[in-house]
Amino acid sequence: KFLRQMNAMVGELDATRCNFIRCIKPNSRMEPDVFDPLYTATQLRHTGMLQCCEMLKHGYPTRINYAEVKARYEGHMPADVRALRLKPKDFAAAVLYGLEVPRHLYQLGESRLFFTAGGVATLDE
């Protein structure tokens, strides 16, 4: 049931256009008709928008927080694996390796795991 729901959601996401809305201030003084490119670029960098655009450009629309991956799959692991007490990022990498998820389907980010369209379904197969 879960896999069917995930595939339906991925199909729906694939059929839609991804939009992001962020409020960016054009200048630090909040003056009208004044644009500070360095100030604006700094805001975009700090909000992660530049990285997000880069990931989307390379075709990784699905992103999952490492803690969520660990919470979702840790209970399915053998006791000796759970006893390792891996950090969420290391745990996610180990799950991907252990399940032999093809490397072209994902990228490991700083705080999230990025999947190609439909790639996340390989975790639940």
| Two structure tokens written together for 10 | 């991925």
Q: What is the pTM of this model?
A: 0.55
66-108 pLDDT, tens per residue? 998 898 888 888 888 888 889 999 999 998 998 889 998 898 9
Q: Give the pLDDT band of residue 4 (cuts 50, 70, 90).
A: confident
As a whole number, the mean pLDDT across the chain is: 84
Contact in structure between 116 and 59 (CB atoms under 8 Å): yes
CB atoms within 10 A of CB 66: 20
Averaged pLDDT for residues 105-122:
84
